[in-house]
Amino acid sequence: MVRKTSHIKRLANLKKIPISLVGVKRNYDRILNDTTKSLNEWTGNYEAVEIHLGRMFSQVFQKHSKDEEEQLFISGTKTTTPSLKKVSSAPVKPWFFSRVFALLGFSFLLLWCLMFVFSSDKVSTGLTFIGSLTVPMSLLMLFFEINVYRNLSFMKIFEIFLIGGILAIIATMILYDIVPISNDMNFWAAFLIGFVEETAKLLIIIYYTNQFKIKYIFNGMLIGAAIGAGFSVIENAGYTSQYGLITLLIRSWQTIGTHTIWAAILGAAVVIGKKTKAQFSIYDFSTKIFFRFYLFVILLHTFWDWTIPFDIFYYCDLQKILLILIGWMMVIVLIDAGLREVRTLQGQRIIERKSRRKKRLLK
C-alpha cells in the first residue's frame, strides 16, 4: 500500500497534477480497460482495446487534396478495389466525413437564415430534410471511410441507404401491427419498441449481407450504418413535421448515438455470427456469439426510450450521453476487431502462399 501511494505522489509531482486527480484517472483507465476487454471478448479476443480518439480523428483538421476525395469516391469498382495484400491494417483515421458534416451544416444554416431572417416559409421542407440528413449522412461517410477493404462503391451504399432505410421502416410498421405495445412508456413498452425497430433493421441487414455475400466485419458495419442512417433520416423528418423544428435540433445531436451506430453494430454482429458461412440463416439467431450483440442493441434502444427513474439522469441529458458513449465504445471495439480480422486474413494468405510454394518445390 505504501509503495502504491508513493508511486502516485511521484507521478503527481512529475506532472504537477493533484493526487486526487491522478487517482481518478487511474480508476477511469481501469474501468475503461475492463469494459473494453469484456466487450472485446464478444469478438473472440481477450485483450482491452485502447481508445485514442485524438489519434483516430487526427486527420480531420489536416489539409487534404481533391485527388484524395476522388480516390475515396471511386473505390469499390472492379478496377479500384484493392487486393487483400494491399488492404491497410493500420489504425483508421477518417476525415472526409467532417467535410460532409460541414457542407450539410452550412446548408442548414443558410436555409435557417432564409426562413427566420427573410421570413421565407417556403423553405421549411428543405430545412427539415437537410437537418434530418446532416448527422446520419456524416456518420455514414465515417463508416464508408472506415471500410478499409474499399470493396463497396458509394453508389451501392447510397442505394442501400435509400431503399434499405425505407424497407426497414416498412418492416417496422409490419412488426408494430403484430406486436402489441402499450401507450404508457414503461420499461416493458420501451423494450418492445427496441425489439421491433432493431429486429426490423436487422432483417434488412441480413438480406443485404446475404445478397452481397458479405464476409468482412467492416463491410457488415457499413451496410448496417447505411440502413440505420436511412431509417434515421426518415424518422427525424417525420418527428420534425409532427412536433416542429425544436425537435429537429434536439434529435440532430442525439442522432450521433442512435440508429446509425446501432445498425452498424448489428451489421458487424451478422458477419461475426455467421462466421465463415456464406449466408446468415435463422439458426444463427440462437447462437451466443450473435445474440449478445443483438440483445445489447435492443437494450441500448430500450434505455434510450425509457427514462431511468433517478433525478440525476435528468440533468444535461446524462442518460442519453451515457448511452451514446456506450454505443461508441462498442463501435470502437468492433473497429479493432475489424483491423484484427484484416491482419489474420493477410497472415493466412502468406501461409497459403508458402504452403503452395513448398508443394511445388517438393514436386
What does each C-alpha distance from 105 to 108, 130, 236 come to in angstroms?
Answer: 5, 8, 16
Q: Helix, strand, or coil here: 273?
A: helix
Rounded Cα distance between 220 and 15, Å, is: 43
* pLDDT of 14 above 50: no
Q: Quick one: pLDDT at residue 163?
A: 98
Q: Quick one: pLDDT at residue 287?
A: 87
Q: Is residue 333 part of a domain?
A: yes
Q: Quick one: pLDDT at residue 23?
A: 57
Q: Is residue 280 part of a domain?
A: yes
Q: Quick one: pLDDT at residue 32?
A: 85
Mean pLDDT of the region 135-143: 97
The C-alpha cell at 261 is: 451506430
The proportion of the chain whose per-residue pLDDT surpasses 70, expressed as a percent, equals 90
Q: Quick one: pLDDT at residue 129?
A: 94
Q: Is residue 232 part of a domain?
A: yes
* pLDDT of 7 above 50: no
Q: Is residue 295 part of a domain?
A: yes
Rounded Cα distance between 285 and 290, Å, is: 7
For CA atoms 261, 264, 270, 272, give the dihedral sign. Answer: negative
Centre a 10 Å sphere on the Cβ of residue 109 and count the other Cβ atoms it contains: 11
Phi–psi pair at 71, nearest 5 degrees:
-60, -35
Nearest C-alpha neighbor of 94 from the set 222, 253, 231 = 222
Q: Quick one: pLDDT at residue 184?
A: 84
Mean pLDDT of the region 235-245: 91
Q: Which pLDDT band holds residue 19 (cuts at 50, 70, 90)?
A: low
The proportion of the chain whose per-residue pLDDT surpasses 90, expressed as a percent, equals 63
Mean pLDDT of the region 264-275: 94
Which is more confidently placed, 356 or 342? 342
Rounded Cα distance between 150 and 252, Å, is: 28
Centre a 10 Å sphere on the Cβ of residue 20 and count the other Cβ atoms it contains: 10
Residue type at 323?
L
Task: Report pLDDT digits (tens) over 158-199.
Answer: 999 999 999 999 999 999 999 988 888 899 999 999 999 999
**Across 305-309, 328-332, 355-359, which has the greatest mean pLDDT?**
328-332
Q: Quick one: pLDDT at residue 5?
A: 46
Residue with cell 451501392: 156
Phi–psi pair at 94, nearest 5 degrees:
-70, 150
* pLDDT of 142 above 70: yes
Q: Which pLDDT band holds residue 4 (cuts at 50, 70, 90)?
A: very low
Q: Quick one: pLDDT at residue 353?
A: 72
Q: Is residue 217 part of a domain?
A: yes
Nearest C-alpha neighbor of 56 from the set 331, 361, 340, 345 = 331
Find the length of the chain.
363
> Residues with Cβ < 8 Å from 257, sequence gap 6 or more?
320, 323, 324, 325, 327, 328
Mean pLDDT of the region 144-167: 96
Per the prediction, the chain carries an average pLDDT of: 88
Q: Is residue 190 part of a domain?
A: yes
Q: Which pLDDT band holds residue 10 (cuts at 50, 70, 90)?
A: very low
Task: Report pLDDT digits (tens) over 198-208.
Answer: 999 999 999 99
Which is more confidently placed, 308 or 99? 99
**Domain count across the chain:** 1
* pLDDT of 12 above 50: no
Task: Report pLDDT digits (tens) over 270-285.
Answer: 999 988 788 898 888 8
* pLDDT of 260 above 60: yes
Which is more confidently placed, 180 or 230? 230
Q: Are 280 and 274 in contact (CB under 8 A)?
A: yes
Rounded Cα distance between 307 and 310, Å, is: 8
* pLDDT of 8 above 50: no
Nearest C-alpha neighbor of 237 from the set 118, 105, 134 = 134
Query: What pTM was estimated for this model as a whole?
Result: 0.90
Q: Is residue 163 part of a domain?
A: yes
Residue with cell 456464406: 278
Residue 190 is given by DSSP the state H
What does each C-alpha distance from 265 to 29, 31, 295, 323 come to in angstroms?
Answer: 24, 22, 11, 14
Domain that holds residue 246: 152-362
Task: Report pLDDT digits (tens) over 249-259.
Answer: 999 999 999 99
Q: Is residue 53 part of a domain?
A: no
